[in-house]
Amino acid sequence: MVSLKEKFERIVGADHVSDGAAERYVYSRDMTENPPREPQLVVMPSTAEEVQKIVRLANEERVPLVPFATGQSVGGLTIPQVDDAVIVDLKRMNKILNVDEEGMYMVIEPGVTFGHVRKYLDESHPDLRYTYAISSPFTSVIANALLQGLCDLSTRYGSMAEFINGLEAVLPTGEIVRVGSGILGDDNWFGRYPLPDLVGLFTGWQGMTGIVTKMALQLWPKKPFTRHFALFTFGEFMTTDLLKQIVRADLAEDAGALSFSVVKALIGMPAPIEAIEGEPDYGTFLTLSGITSLELDEKVRVLKRIVDRSKAEEPKNLLIPFEAVARLMSEEAYGWVDFPSDSFKQLTEYDGLTWMGTYIHPKNWGEALFKGRKIVEKYGYELMAFLKPMKGMHFCEFKFIIRFKRDDENLKRVHQCNNELLDLALDLKAIPYKTPVWSAKKLHERADPNFIELVRRIRDLLDPNGIMNPGRWGL
Amino acid sequence: MLDEPKDFIGYLMSQLINRQLEDPNLESRVKGWKMTVVLATDYYPVTLTFNKGVRFAKGAASDATLTVEMSFGTIIRLVMEETSTIKAFLKGEIKAKGMFRHPMAMKRFYGLLNAALKG
């Protein structure tokens, strides 16, 4: 009798399958408060064909599969929701397959990280730029795109799912499919239209509809002139109103606002960080760019005018050239705006990290921030909000991050705090993203039931044996 | 060793001044100073107490030797060298109380502030 482990070993080799206690422990949890659950096995394929064989075997054996890219999710998204799951760790699939200079896209595998892309483009295609997520440099680019996450280009272009030109996936029934213009062959991943847009069958599904093995993602020309600023502001409504003006004027390539406590963490202040009366409430990092210095100078001039105008209401609002920030803090400060993922290591001060994040209508942004702040303060956690204007101000993002010590009392309290934040968000018709299961279930209670039923039907159609990440998204 | 204040301006000033005090000659001189300076910014005041070193505290000491008023924006302009302490003083962007009674304290503090902000 051949064991399940041996069957997987025949597909990927004995070195790439483990049922060891250490591996099962590591893959059973993340830094969040979401409850852990151990998988029975971890398998690490290196090709789409191996993934296909894994999925076919899982169908034969009725074994649940949980796709896993690089494990940087903060939302319990790779924690199995059922017993005896097999984690399909895609880290070995880490090739940048192609960069098309003329079409400005790259084709990559799921184990490729933001750090890989940055290095590769800098060395091989210096006129093109990609982006970075607000997470560690080890984060999978494909995972962030599939989860509709944000990045430093989201202020202008929206969620990363919108950057996808097409993809290749292994369906839950084992077929390898392509969507997007790549259906006409390689070297043709220029876009998603005019076709039925089936990229949406994979984005936002948290791995329930297949395992993506390849993705084409847009790149952008690197503009030769760039300047960075820090903007200190006061009050939730005044801050969001000012950001709306700046982004609607199409001045900023990127705008990321942080509670001032995060700014204080960045400059090296030790935890726990208190919000002190009189300090600014928010620090926003702004990136402006231009094809010419003249274009950039003009954008800077308009930005200064907008900020100066805001001083009629709040004289202490202050726009600070990043050169001053670097002189005050050290040259390391450029790391916050150039590739800031690594600077967010402060968030892992303790062994617990969680957040409740949403995309929200601009009209409700300030209120969400104002009321969310009260909730976090009530629970006594550090005030660590992160907000980003999205897609030229068509919508907005806000999240409250909590770093915490993982003891029983904190796990309970953090969950309560996130629950209250989610209730507030849903009251304001915000859509939570990268949702853990408990959060998705709350969304289901308020959402149009026909939408939830449609999601369920599509999932059942694609995955008749229910093997792909069962229980995920509360389904 | 300086205290690490919990507030932004106090922390920033402590870091900047600490960098200057890496010069052992200056550190030795500063250790001999005995004065209390309130740096009153538009955000909030910070008190620097010089007494065998420097301590920082949020708030304004009532017994300050000197009170130096300037906005955080002026601090940034000094850092960017868009102005100097003299120019800012002459333009009224920096105001000082106690400078005539304690000219040496004023000279010492302005010298240290200038060096700290210019790195």
A309 close contact with B: CB closer than 8 A:
no
List, for residues A322-331, the tens digit of each pLDDT value: 999 988 887 7
- Interface contact A320, partner B, CB < 8 A: yes
A331 touches B: beta carbon within 8 Å? no
| Residue A81 reports pLDDT greater than 70 | yes
Cross-chain Cβ contact A260/B8 below 8 Å: yes
For chain A, what is the mean pLDDT?
A: 95
Confidence of residue A2 (pLDDT cuts 50, 70, 90): very high
pLDDT band (50, 70, 90) for residue A350: confident
- Joined together, the tokens standing for residue A156 give 């202008």
Q: Which of A328, A329, A330, A383 is the best substitution to test chain B (most B C-beta atoms within 10 A)?
A: A328
- Which of B4, B6, B8 to probe by mutation at the A interface, max A CB count within 10 Å? B8
Q: Tell me, what's the pLDDT at A337?
A: 75
What are the pLDDT digits (tens) for A246-258? 999 999 999 999 9
Topology (CATH level 3) of domain A4-91: 3.30.43
On the question of pLDDT at B3 being above 60, the answer is: no
**Cβ contact (<8 Å) for B4 and A318?**
no
In percent, the amount of chain A with pLDDT more than 70 equals: 99
The answer to whether the CB atoms of B72 and A276 lie below 8 A apart is no
Q: Is the pLDDT of residue B2 over 70?
A: no
The token pair at A273 is 């960080």
Nearest to A388 by CA among A97, A123, A153: A153
**In whole angstroms, what is the distance from residue A228 CA to residue A319 CA?**
10
If you search the block for the tokens 């929206």, which residue do you land on?
A: A158
The yes or no reply on domain A225-434 and CATH 1.10.1060.10 is no
Over the stretch A223-237, which tens digit does the pLDDT of each residue have? 999 999 999 999 999
Domain ranges of chain A: 4-91, 96-221, 225-434
**A27-55 per-residue burial string, b: 16 or more CB within 10 A, e: under 16:** bbbbbbbbeebbbbbbbbbbebebbbbbb
Which pLDDT does position A267 carry in this prediction?
87
Do strands B34-40 and B66-70 pair parallel, antiparallel, or not at all (unpaired)?
Answer: parallel
Q: Classify residue B84: in a domain, yes or no.
A: yes
| Alpha-carbon distance B114 to nearest alpha carbon in chain A (angstroms) | 13
The answer, for B113 touching chain A at a CB cutoff of 8 Å, is no
A329, A330, A334, A337 alpha-carbon torsion, rounded to 10° = -20
* Burial track A326-362 (b if 16+ CB lie within 10 A, e otherwise): bbbbeeebbebbebbbebbebbebeebbbbbbbbbeb
Give the residue from chain A lying closest to B117, CA to CA. A328
Q: pLDDT tens digits, residue range B13-23? A: 999 998 999 99
For the domain made up of A96-221, the CATH class stated in words is alpha beta
Q: Do A324 and B42 touch (CB under 8 A)?
A: no
Q: What is the mean pLDDT of residues A253-267?
A: 93
Among A141, A163, A115, A157, smallest CA distance to A212 is for A141
Q: Chain B residues with CB inside 8 Å of A267's CB? A: 11-12, 15
Cβ–Cβ gap B6/A276 under 8 Å: yes
Give residue A336's pLDDT band: very low, low, confident or very high (50, 70, 90). confident
Of A116, A135, A75, nearest in space to A343 by CA: A135
> Which of B12, B43, B76 is facing A316, going by the closest CB pair?
B43
User: Which residues, other chains included, contact A18 with Cβ-Cβ below 8 Å and sequence gap of 6+?
Assistant: A41, A42
pLDDT tens string A140-174: 999 999 999 999 999 999 999 999 999 999 999 99
Enumerate the residues of chain B whose CB falls inside 8 A of the CB of residue A274.
6
Residues 349-378 of A with CB under 8 A from B: none
- The amino acid sitting at B6 is K
Arithmetic mean of pLDDT, B86-110? 93
Chain A residues within 8 A of B15 when measuring between CB atoms: 267-268, 329
pLDDT (tens digit per residue) in A280-313: 999 999 999 999 999 999 999 999 999 999 999 9
User: Do the chains contact at B6 and A274, CB–CB below 8 Å?
Assistant: yes
Q: Is B3 on the interface with A (CB under 8 A)?
A: no
Res A12: pLDDT:
98
Predicted confidence band of residue A190 (pLDDT cuts 50, 70, 90): very high
Mean pLDDT of B49-74: 95
- Predicted confidence at residue A346, as pLDDT, reads 76
Asked if the ipTM is above 0.85, the reply is: yes
Interface test with B, best of A228, A262, A276 (most B CBs within 10 A): A276
pLDDT score of B1: 45
**Looking at the complex, does the CB of residue A272 fall below 8 Å from at least one CB of chain B?**
no
DSSP A332: G
Q: Per the domain annotation, does B1 fall within a domain?
A: no
Please count the residue pairs, one from chain A and one from chain B, whose beta carbons lie less than 8 angstroms apart.
Answer: 54
Hey, is the C-beta of B8 within 8 angstroms of any chain A C-beta? yes
Give the per-residue pLDDT at A343. Answer: 62
Please check whether residue B3 lies inside any domain of the structure: no
Q: Please report the pLDDT score of residue A348 as a whole number.
A: 79
- Band of residue A349 on the pLDDT scale cut at 50, 70, 90: confident
Parent domain of B82:
8-118
The reply to whether B2 falls in a domain is no
pLDDT band at A132 (very low <50, low <70, confident <90, very high): confident
Contacts of A329 in chain B (CB under 8 A): 15
Number of domains in chain B: 1
Test A232 with B79 for CB contact under 8 angstroms.
no
For residue B92, the domain's CATH number is 3.30.1050.10
Beta strand pairing call for A105-108 and A211-218: antiparallel
Predicted local distance difference test score (pLDDT) of residue A191 = 98
